[in-house]
Amino acid sequence: MGYLAKGDKMKAVLKVGGILLLASSLLAQTAAPAKKTARKPVSTSAADIQALKDAVAAQQQQIQTLQQQLQQTNQQLQQSAQQALETQQQLQKAQQAATDAQMTAAGIQASVAPKDAVDKLNAQYADIQTTLTNNAVSAQDEQKRMTGLENTLGRFRWTGDVRVRGEDFFQGYSGCTACADRNRARIRVRFGFEGKLNDDFTAGVALATGSLGDPTTTNETFTNNFDRKTIGLDKGYITYNPVAHKWLSLTGGKFAYQWQRTQITGDPDTNPEGFSERFSKDFTSVPIVKNLNLNLMQLFYNEASGTGGLYHGHDSFAVGGQVGGRLQLTKWWSMTPSFLVMNWRYPDAILNSSFFATQATSTNNINVVDGSGKVISFPVPGEGPGCSTPASSGLQSSQACAFSPNGMTNSTYADAAGHLHFLSGFLYADLILNNTFKTKWSRLPINLLAEYEDNLNAASHPFDYTVKGAVPDPGAVVRTDLGSQSHVYYGDISVGQQKNRGDIQVGYAWLRHEQDATIASFNESDQRAPSNILQHRVYALWRIRQNTTAAFTWWHGRTLDPFLQNAALAPGTSIATNPDGHAILNPGARQSDPWLNRLQFDLIYTF
């Protein structure tokens, strides 16, 4: 900011004044001795003029300097304006520069600068200020629009995953002619979003691949001539979780499990339908007990219309409740215990499902008349697993059949009318103790899950393999040497976690699942069979990237008691009775089912 200070101006004026005074005093001094100094006045006057010329020249130079400084100021203003256009923060700086310039202009106007130049400068300043203001308003509008867009998009969260799997099956025994290894590749795609309708309500929608008739898996095998894969509604729900009462959460629709569970009582791919209420309270200042919760659920799995049918119009549903909590037992040991009771009402509807429910290929032909008038008859194809026909036979093979995508392994019988029934009722009592032990490596906690489940409505004794067809009196044909097949014992221990990139987790799980401990239709789809099994599982996971996991699982399992009704048997196996009355598995006269090994190699992308 170059301009003459007040002192400089004063100095210049004083200089000129001083010179003039000296000149006049010189003239006064030479007046008396006029004769002596008659030749000198010419030279003194010239010096004075020269001095005056110098002073004027100095002033002109100063004016030029001022003009240069004005130009510089103008340039600086323009630069400042340019910068202010780029960022809102520079706005203040540019305004400050403009203010300085205005002060300068005002100062100059008050001293030596021409009025036109100052007016021009003021006009430029006004333009710059207008431009800056417009830009600032525009930036604010843009910001508002962006914030609005962010708020709208922020209400939705995409969810889902893509899993590509390679899978191999091996099962063999001496003399087996039907034991061929099986290899397949599969894909699972799930995609959905969750949206906050407002502070209190959340809604979610999700689509997934997989057969419409199999709720226990969303896999699609790479087969059928590159055909397109089925996609169905996997989830659709609304949750009410009011801000004013965060302890309350009410959910209705088709939703993921809202309570603690494992593969024992339901496959992780299954999304039940109905309603769920959760009451949960956290405790921060209470020792040990950090949370207590109560979950209630009402699940509907078959709706009956009218007053006819198997249950005279009664719908089939499951109602239950679970109490749970979170305990911090020590600094390094936390436990999530839970106890569930769930009652399945009118479950026989599962065994008498429609072809639509199982997506079976119908045996009822459709007749079509072709162009020549000829009637062509063909079955209606289904894309699902179809009927699960238990070995007990005497079952519906058309119109209604057993729904159990992975095989019906519970005890069943048919009445005189041909309707299929479970031998047992189903009232689950399920205790889960999920423990986490911190280690000195934060990414390698030890996880220990223990579960005990008992079906309180299981029959006292099971059927054996000889029971087939209609059974007028189920109690007369049970195996009294065996007790209730109602228990599940399950343990799973692992080291590590799956939270961040680079995390690894290695574990082993053991399961003993008796025949009628749970309904076979909804159990884990990857194990040897839905029930009546002994199963080992070894697994390892590696978080390759923040959203990508590689996993390996080795399922090693066999049927627990192959001589029970509806037991899953290895291919080519049949049961015979020895002369001594004992049952054997042929060929080989074996007593146990051969182990089935199933290897799964997964790559999972989650978002």
Partner 1 sequence: MRRELLIALLVLGMVASLDAIESGELSMTIVRAEQKMRDRVVAWVNDTPIYQQDPYFDVAVRSGDKVLEGEYEPSSAWETLPVFWKPGVEVQGRVRGHSLFLKRPNGVEIRFVILKRTAVTAIKKQ
Among 234, 516, 526, 593, binds partner 1 (CB under 8 A): 526
327 DSSP 8-state letter: E
Assess 198 for contact with partner 1 (CB under 8 A): no
Residue 432 or residue 519: which is nearer to partner 1 going by CB? 432
3-class SS of residue 597: strand
Smallest gap from residue 241 Cβ to partner 1 (A):
11
Q: What angle do CA 419, 422, 428 make, to 5 degrees?
A: 145
Of 92-100, 243-251, 565-573, 575-583: span binding partner 1 (CB under 8 A): 243-251
Beta bridge partners of 278: 249, 295
* 442 touches partner 1 by CB under 8 A: no
Q: Where are the alpha helices (DSSP H) in 155-201?
A: none
Residue 567 to residue 391: CA distance in whole angstroms: 8
Expressed in angstroms, the distance from the first to the final Cα of the chain is 58
354-393 footprint of partner 1 as x/- string (CB under 8 A): ----------------------------------------
Q: Is residue 151 near partner 1 by the rule CB under 8 A?
A: yes
DSSP 339-377: EEEEEEESGGGGGGEEHHHHTPPPSSEEEEE-TTS-EEE
| Site for partner 1 contains 199 (CB under 8 A) | yes
What torsion, rounded to 10 degrees, do the Cα atoms 286, 287, 291, 293 define?
A: -90
For the bound state, the minimum distance from the C-beta of residue 551 to partner 1, rounded and expressed in Å, comes to 5
- Who contacts 57 (Cβ-Cβ below 8 Å, separation ≥6)? none
Closest approach, Cβ 367 to partner 1, in A, equals: 46
Q: What is the DSSP letter of 595?
A: P
Which two structure tokens, joined as six digits, stand for 413?
Answer: 């019988």
**Binding of partner 1 by 158 (CB under 8 A):** no
Taking CB under 8 A as the rule, does residue 505 contact partner 1? yes
By the rule CB under 8 A, 282 interacts with partner 1: no
Q: Which burial class, exposed, middle or buried, applies to 513 when counting CB atoms under 10 A from its CB (0-12, 13-18, 19+)? A: buried
Q: To the nearest whole angstrom, how small is the minimum distance from the Cβ of residue 193 to partner 1?
A: 13
Among 88, 90, 124, 436, binds partner 1 (CB under 8 A): 88
**Which residue among 449, 517, 529, 534 contacts partner 1 (CB under 8 A)?**
449
Q: Min. distance of Cβ 274 from partner 1 in angstroms?
A: 20
Residue 498 found at the interface with partner 1 (CB under 8 A): yes
CB 560 within 8 A of CB 514: yes
Q: Is 297 in the site for partner 1 (CB under 8 A)?
A: no
Among 147, 365, 398, 439, binds partner 1 (CB under 8 A): 147
Single out the residue of 41, 154, 175, 379 in contact with partner 1 (rule: CB under 8 A): 154
Supply the minimum distance, in Å, between the C-beta of residue 525 and partner 1: 10
Please report whether residue 241 would count as binding partner 1 according to CB under 8 A.
no
243 scored as a contact of partner 1 (CB under 8 A): yes
Based on the number of CB atoms within 10 Å of its own CB, is 564 exposed (0-12), middle (13-18) or buried (19 or more)? Answer: buried
513 or 537: whose CB is closer to partner 1? 537
- Using alpha carbons, select from 189, 190, 192, 188 the residue that is nearest to residue 206: 192
Q: What is the identity of the amino acid at 75?
A: Q
Question: Which of residues 166, 268, 274, 425 is near partner 1 by CB under 8 A?
Answer: 268
Query: How would DSSP label each residue in 111-149?
Result: TTS-HHHHHHHHHHHHHHHHHHHHHHHHHHHHHHHHHHH
Q: How many residues form the binding site for partner 1 (CB under 8 A)?
A: 41
- In the complex with partner 1, which residue's Cβ is closer, 494 or 559? 494
- Residues 6 and 111: their CA atoms lie apart, in Å, by 10
Backbone angles phi, psi at 277, to 5 degrees: -125, 130
Toward partner 1, which CB reaches closer, 103 or 197?
197
What is the phi-psi region of residue 393: left when phi exceeds 0, alpha when psi lies from -120 to 50, beta otherwise?
left
CB closer to partner 1, 263 vs 352: 263
Q: Does 415 help bind partner 1 (rule: CB under 8 A)?
A: no
Write the interaction track for partner 1 spanning residues 1-20; mark x where CB under 8 A is met and - where it is not: --------------------
Local structure of 59: helix, strand or coil: helix
Under the criterion CB under 8 A, does residue 401 sit at the interface with partner 1? no
Please choose, from the candidates 473, 454, 484, the residue with its C-alpha nearest in 3D space to the C-alpha of residue 564: 484
Contact 107, 3 (CB under 8 A): yes
Nearest to 470 by CA among 402, 420, 409: 420
Q: Decide whether 310 or 520 has the Cβ nearer to partner 1.
A: 520
Does 494 sit near partner 1 (CB under 8 A)?
Answer: yes
Q: Which of 492, 514, 561, 593 binds partner 1 (CB under 8 A)?
A: 492
User: Minimum CB separation from partner 1 for residue 155, in Å?
Assistant: 8
Stretch that binds partner 1, among 386-394, 407-415, 467-475, 599-607 (CB under 8 A): 599-607
- Separation CA 455–CA 484 (nearest Å): 9
Nearest approach in angstroms of CB 539 to partner 1 is 7
By the rule CB under 8 A, 159 interacts with partner 1: yes
Whole-angstrom distance, CA of residue 160 vs CA of residue 206: 8
Give the one residue of 8, 127, 141, 150 binding partner 1; rule: CB under 8 A.
Answer: 150
Q: Does 488 bind partner 1 (CB under 8 A)?
A: no
Tallying the residues shown for the chain, one arrives at: 607
Q: What span, in angstroms and rounded, lies between the C-alpha atoms of 521 and 326?
A: 31
Q: Is 418 in the site for partner 1 (CB under 8 A)?
A: no
Residue 571 C-beta: closest distance to partner 1, Å: 25
Q: How far is the CB of 157 from partner 1 (least distance, A)?
A: 9
Name, in order, each residue with C-beta under 8 angstroms of 160's C-beta and a sequence gap of 6 or more.
189, 190, 191, 192, 206, 606, 607
Return the structure tokens found at 550. Answer: 């590689």
Does 69 interact with partner 1 (rule: CB under 8 A)? no
* Cβ(428)–Cβ(342) below 8 Å: yes
530 scored as a contact of partner 1 (CB under 8 A): no
Q: Which residues contact partner 1 (rule: CB under 8 A)?
A: 88, 140, 143, 147, 150-151, 153-154, 159, 161, 163, 199, 243-244, 246, 262-263, 268, 449, 492, 494, 497-500, 505, 507, 509, 524, 526, 537, 539, 541, 547, 549, 551, 553, 602, 604, 606-607
